[in-house]
Structure 1
Amino acid sequence: MYKIKTYNTISVKGLNRFDRAKYEVASDINNPDGYVLRSHKLHDEVLPESVKAVARAGAGTNNVPVAEYTKKGVVVFNAPGANANAVKELVLAGMLLGSRGIIPGMNWANSLTDMTDAAEMSKLMEKQKSQFAGSELIGKTLGVVGLGAIGSLVAETALALGMNVVGYDPALSVEAAWRLPSQVMRAENLQALLSRCDYVTLHVPAIEATQHLINEESLKSVKAGAVLLNFAREAIVDAEAVVKSLDAKQLRMYICDFPEPSLLGRDDVYAMPHIGASTAEAEENCAIMVADQLMDYLENGNIKNSVNFPQVAMERAAQGSARITFCNDNVSGVLGHVLSVLADHDVNVIDMVNKSRGDIAYNIIDVEQPPSDAVVSAIESVEHVIAVRVI
């Protein structure tokens, strides 16, 4: 029986994917085979040797020490796109809040508690409403930085609203490019995008290359009066630089999902309490996706949506056969040595697949009969092999 340890509150619909005849699932469990978590930070925790995979029910994995786990052969899964619609809708709400005087208008209206005459109030509304009028989104230009699952949905929605859309993503995948509406214009670099857009929304991961992507230098290129939206990650934006730009009236507004002390109490900042991916539907979608991925890995060795291992899948061979999986440093000769071990022990290979990603390689080998402990030990002793499993 596989053991799954959970952190945070995981959607019941996700947890119910685990067949209780094969899985024990609990928040307090010894020697787990896998973790399922949301925002819980694992950096300071000792990882049990039994853990084979970690499933993050969300897109970002900055709460997981991915590099450290990779060296131990632990696969880290995430749920790209599962919360994309929730974030897209909040970005749209942010743009609407930034285009019209919705919040200040409501605050002003709710402050009129000393008025008792409805007719008098109606006259006052007509007299004062122009200061909250704002402008429409149609015809404005939206810049989308990062064109993955969320960015492409935001771009599509903006086009449907009659906006012009400019995109920038130096790491755009072929799959993402196919998903992107053809009307999206391409910016050569970040500065070019910032200089021409009335609204700019960020949808890139929090990695070393994107740390303070929006900073004092890049904000020098921003179009005067632009609205910046950040529903990606706090680390992407230098909040102090944003404050300086707002004070200089270069940026008109900053709308984000990451409150910081320097941003609070300002009329030109709308900071939400990190609710972008917190809808019930998004949490269910994320939990279901990572549960399915974790089960497929534990039961079959297949890998989908991992942030540190290559995507690998192979149909199981005939009944009665066994599956060996192993990961290794991505250097030449390792697979050959493992195949030699199998040949030396008269283990017949039925099918196999080998994939690599960066410094790591992963292999699935189906064999006619379960390998002996001696065979497994011999594979483990091959230089550069990190972890071996028999399924």
Structure 2
Amino acid sequence: MNKKKAAYVIGAILLLVIAYFYFSSSSETDASITAKVVKGTFLNEVYISGEAQSTSSKQINGPANARRFGIYNIKIQDLVPEGTVVKKGDFIGKLDVSEVNGKILDAQLSLETAQSKYTQQQLDTTLTLKQERNTIKDLLFNIEEDKLELERSAYESPATIRSLELKIDKTGRDLKEKKADYDIKKRQANAKMIEVGTEVSKHKKRIDELLQLQKEFTIVSDDDGMITYIKDWNGTKKKVGSTISPWEPAIASLPDLTKMESKTYSNEVDIRKIKKGLITKIGFDAFPEIELDGIVTEVANVGESKAGSDIKLFQVLIKLNETNKNIRPGMTTSNRILTNKEEAVLMIPLEAVFSKDSISYAYVKSGLAIDKKQIELGVSNNEVVIINKGLEENEVVYLNKPADLEDKSITLLK
């Protein structure tokens, strides 16, 4: 009898031990796949990545008057690395001057030709005017000679005297005409000398301007700042080997680091939630520990297609309300735009929501049992959903379907 009683006692102890381990294991299993209904602040946020940029920057341009000399596309030959901190007057880059050098050589050849013409015209003028002056001198000499002969012919016949007087008169008229011709030819010569002289001056001025333009092909900073590269029309950054033109003259820029924004693109689904004035938290991939406050300042109304994709994206600009010395233009940003905020609401994880025949329900722990309760859902984000009806705070819901409860009836809302 004692042995039998002892066996009962041992059996009971074994049952208790098995039950303990079973329920303990079951409890641990349940805990690993359950969550409580919590009451708190619901945040609905849109997550989009972007790029930091300055809202105010000074462009560093190539030569402003290159177009006047017929130079349109200029290749960038040298450029300091992006992010270089420079002071006013520091070297930024150098442009290819080969085309300018060619035009300088052409202008020098034209100058030599013009100077040769100037010298030739000067010699021709000197010779022509010299001949005219000699002719005038000869006429003056002839008049003097004829006057002397007239004086010696006082006792000659009146016809001889009259002939000499007419000769002197004719030579005087020739002298007067020759002097007038001389004045005209002198003015003509001066005009031609001015013309060829102007041509020489024009080529000299062109050479001086080209030499000044040549100096401008070495780009220096006109202010203090940090160099950032300019993006070309196709979105690629201008660098060594790229070209600038009179219509896109910028070689780089000096951004104002105290005025920064995040330039982002949202998809067609999220853009409906984003509006101007929404509060944003801005993080930076390069500095995970930095998070700055911002505000949405601009939302595009028209979408645009990115290269290689048919998806329409809408540009969103987010102004940074504060600055950080580590933030640089071009850094990748992660933006959390707060689109909706509700206080003191009940929430459960999205994984705890199930549906059947358009009815949403949850598996709810009730003592040792599990109930299927219909729930009325509110707004959701990527993690949780608001529960309008059907659950109470601190109730435990299952994140996975418990086994063998698929056919259990749902307790509907009253």
Alignment TM-score, normalising by the size of structure 1: 0.22
Answer 1 or 2: higher relative contact order, Cα 8 Å, separation at least 6: 2
Alignment TM-score, normalising by the size of structure 2: 0.21
